[in-house]
C-alpha cells in the first residue's frame, strides 16, 4: 500500500539535504584553498659538520711558546741546580764570600754595595742597554768626586783628568780572573735567574740578557776626544744628541775614557766567550 507523501515534509527534507551539501562543499573548498596558498615551510637542513680546521681550533687561545734559550749555561752534574744555594734574599753572605775570594776584601769594601747584590746586578745588567740605569739599584758604589771639565770660552769639554776617577775600579776589573768569575756565576746562576724573572720576565733567561748587555757595551762607538758637554738639569750631558741618545752602558764607557774602556771591553769579551761556550761539566 503506497504511503502518501506530505508535501511540507518533503520540502523540509530537500532543504536539509541541500544545506548539508552546500556546507560540505564549503568546508572542502576552504580546505583546498589553504592547502594551495599555505604551503608548509621548507625543512630545516642540519648544520654542516665542522671542518678539520674548526675541529683543530681550541676553545681557549693557545699560550705563546716560550722563547728559545740562546746561550744556556752548563747544567749542574749529579745534583739539582739549586742544591746547596741559599734563598735569594739571604744570598748576600754567599756572594760576598765568593767575590772576596776573587778580588780581595779591600776591593769589595771600596766598590761593592753589600746589599741585595744579585738583585742589583740583575737590574743593572737589564738596564745597561736601555736609556738609564737606576742609580739607587747599582751594585757598585758611586764614582767618587765630581765630573772634571775644561772650559774653552763658551764650550765645555770633558777633561781627560776625569778618566782618572774610574781608574782604581778599572784596575780591579783588569786583574780579575774571568774563568773564576764565570765559575762563580755558573754556580749561583739559579739565583740570578730567579731575580731576573722577578723583574717581570717569567719566560726570560738571564744569561741571554747578560750577553745582550755585553754586546751593547762592545758596540760603544769610537768618539773623537775631547767630548763636548752641556749642562743638564742635574748632571752634565753630551752635547751631541747622537751620543746622548746612546744606551746608558755605552755612555758610561765614554765617560771612563778610551784607555779604561779598552780594559773593560777586553774583559767583557773574555766573559762573553766563557758564558756562551761553557764547558760540558760544571766548574
The residues pairing with 231 across neighbouring beta strands, listed in sequence order, are 236
Cα 192 to Cα 41, 45, 100, 271, distances in angstroms: 72, 62, 18, 16
E strands in 68-214: 149-152, 155-158
Does the pTM of the predicted model rise above 0.85? no
Bridging pattern class, strands 155-158 and 149-152: antiparallel
Best CA proximity match to 266, nearest among 79, 258, 33, 31:
258
Helix residue spans in 134-177 (DSSP H): 167-174
> Rounded to an integer, what distance in angstroms lies between the CA atom of residue 20 and that of residue 14?
10
pLDDT tens over the chain, length 283 residues: 444 444 444 444 444 444 444 444 444 443 444 444 444 555 555 666 656 555 555 556 666 666 799 999 987 644 566 778 999 999 999 999 999 999 999 999 999 999 999 999 999 999 999 999 998 999 999 999 999 999 999 999 999 999 999 999 999 999 999 999 999 999 999 999 999 999 999 999 999 999 999 999 999 999 999 999 999 988 899 999 999 999 999 999 999 999 999 999 999 999 999 999 855 544 4
Kind and range of the H or E element at 231?
strand 228-231
Sequence-separated (6 or more) residues with CB below 8 Å from residue 203: 66, 67
Cell readout for 243 is: 751620543
3-class DSSP state of 150: strand
Residue 50 is predicted with a pLDDT of: 58
Kind and range of the H or E element at 96?
helix 92-103
Residue 17 is predicted with a pLDDT of: 43
Sketch the domain layout of the chain as residue ranges: 88-276
Cα 216 to Cα 62, 100, 193, 270, 272, distances in angstroms: 34, 28, 20, 15, 12
> Rounded to an integer, what distance in angstroms lies between the CA atom of residue 117 and that of residue 200?
18
> Rounded to an integer, what distance in angstroms lies between the CA atom of residue 270 and that of residue 2?
142
Amino acid at each position: 500500500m503506497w504511503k502518501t507523501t506530505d508535501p511540507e515534509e518533503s520540502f523540509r527534507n530537500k532543504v536539509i539535504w541541500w544545506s548539508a551539501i552546500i556546507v560540505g562543499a564549503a568546508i572542502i573548498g576552504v580546505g583546498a584553498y589553504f592547502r594551495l596558498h599555505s604551503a608548509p615551510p621548507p625543512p630545516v637542513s642540519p648544520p654542516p659538520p665542522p671542518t678539520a680546521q674548526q675541529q683543530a681550533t681550541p676553545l681557549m687561545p693557545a699560550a705563546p711558546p716560550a722563547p728559545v734559550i740562546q746561550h744556556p749555561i752548563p747544567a749542574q752534574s749529579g745534583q739539582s741546580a739549586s742544591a746547596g744555594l741559599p734563598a735569594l734574599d739571604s744570598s748576600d753572605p754567599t756572594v760576598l764570600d765568593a767575590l772576596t775570594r776573587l778580588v780581595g776584601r779591600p776591593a769589595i769594601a771600596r766598590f761593592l754595595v753589600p746589599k741585595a747584590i744579585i738583585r742589583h746586578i740583575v737590574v743593572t745588567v737589564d738596564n745597561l742597554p736601555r736609556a738609564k740605569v737606576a742609580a739607587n739599584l747599582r751594585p757598585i758604589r758611586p764614582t767618587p768626586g765630581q765630573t772634571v771639565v775644561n772650559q774653552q770660552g763658551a764650550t765645555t769639554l770633558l777633561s781627560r783628568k776625569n778618566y782618572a776617577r774610574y781608574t782604581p775600579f778599572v784596575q780591579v776589573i783588569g786583574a780579575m780572573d774571568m774563568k773564576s768569575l764565570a765559575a762563580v756565576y755558573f754556580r749561583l746562576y739559579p739565583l740570578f735567574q730567579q731575580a731576573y724573572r722577578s723583574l717581570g720576565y717569567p719566560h726570560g733567561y738571564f744569561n741571554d740578557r747578560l750577553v745582550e748587555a755585553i754586546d751593547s757595551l762592545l758596540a760603544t762607538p769610537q768618539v773623537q776626544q775631547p767630548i763636548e758637554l752641556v749642562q743638564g738639569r742635574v748632571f752634565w750631558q753630551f752635547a751631541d744628541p747622537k751620543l746622548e741618545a746612546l744606551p746608558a752602558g755605552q755612555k758610561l764607557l765614554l765617560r771612563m775614557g778610551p784607555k779604561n774602556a779598552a780594559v773593560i771591553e777586553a774583559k767583557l769579551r773574555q766573559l762573553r766567550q766563557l758564558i756562551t761556550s761553557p764547558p760540558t761539566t760544571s766548574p
